[in-house]
């Protein structure tokens, strides 16, 4: 019998991530019976391109794994401008805010292509914790380690020179969303200079200049719509 996610997605949606909900960092160090209960309790749903999985300000009542597809995380400022903060691919995890009491989503998650999710709503997950208390304990420990990782990632924004900040961010995207390439790592989906500016805190014109400098230095190579990082 195949994976339930495979049956729901269908062949036309492409290859699914081999990562299962029980393989996520947040559920590390669980016992086999706990992992089995976790997988059985998970809910699956397909979202279409352009559809929001959740939106900024909504109650954070869902956390999930992206089994296939890609999602953009964005935030609307008080001035009404949309800022792209991150991109997530199949195999990534979203919605950790659900674990906090009475929290809302700080971001909007919009599907860039048809996307299958596998995860939990808040009532269902709380019921699971009551049955298997060790799951809750391990989640707390794993979240603490995740905070340390995020702190190190934010450190990349402290680079003085824009070229360094931009390259650090592109390297992070290449590692998380790109594919191996003979010359380095390739980002195969387009990123506009405006989106790059939001991600590193710079104006579009400055991004254009910084990209030109990185190309001249050989750190990045542009081949059509593909961006190759030679030293990710």
Which pLDDT value is given to residue 52? Answer: 94
Least confident stretch, 25-29, 130-134, 151-155, 168-172 = 151-155
Model pTM above 0.75: no
Reported as a single tens digit per residue, the pLDDT across 39-94 is 889 999 999 999 999 999 998 888 899 999 989 999 888 888 888 888 888 888 88
Q: What is the pLDDT of residue 198?
A: 67
Sorted by where each starts, the structural domains of the chain and their CATH numbers stand as 4-155 (2.60.120.10), 159-229 (1.10.10.10)
Task: Please report, rounded to a whole number, the percentage of residues in the chain having pLDDT higher than 90.
Answer: 22
CA distance 35 to 212: 48
Cβ distance 165 to 157 under 8 Å? yes
**Burial (0-12, 13-18, 19+ Cβ within 10 Å), 32:** exposed
Predicted local confidence at residue 21, as pLDDT: 85
Judged against a pLDDT cut of 50, whether residue 20 lies above it is answered with yes
Tell me how crowded residue 1 is: count the other CB atoms within 10 A of its CB. 5
CA atoms within 13 A on the CB side of 24: 28
């Amino acid at each position: 019998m195949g994976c339930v996610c495979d049956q729901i997605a269908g062949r036309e949606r492409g290859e699914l991530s081999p990562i299962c909900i029980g393989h996520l960092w947040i559920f590390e160090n669980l016992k086999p019976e706990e992992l089995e209960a976790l997988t059985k309790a998970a809910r699956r749903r397909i979202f279409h391109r352009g559809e929001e999985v959740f939106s900024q300000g909504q109650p954070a009542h869902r956390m999930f794994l992206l089994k296939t597809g890609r999602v953009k995380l964005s935030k609307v400022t008080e001035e009404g401008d949309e800022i792209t903060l991150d991109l997530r691919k199949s195999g990534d995890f979203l919605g950790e805010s659900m674990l906090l009491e009475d929290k809302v989503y700080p971001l909007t998650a919009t599907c860039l292509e048809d996307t299958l999710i596998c995860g939990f709503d808040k009532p269902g997950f709380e019921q699971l914790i009551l049955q298997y208390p060790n799951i809750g304990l391990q989640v707390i420990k794993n979240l603490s380690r995740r905070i340390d990782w995020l702190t190190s990632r934010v450190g990349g924004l402290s680079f003085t020179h824009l070229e360094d900040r931009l390259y650090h961010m592109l390297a992070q995207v290449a590692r998380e969303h790109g594919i191996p390439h003979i010359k380095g790592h390739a980002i195969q989906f387009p990123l506009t200079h405006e989106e790059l500016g939001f991600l590193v805190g710079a104006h579009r014109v400055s991004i254009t200049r910084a990209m030109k400098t990185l190309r001249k230095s050989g750190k990045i190579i542009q081949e059509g719509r593909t961006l190759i990082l030679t030293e990710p």
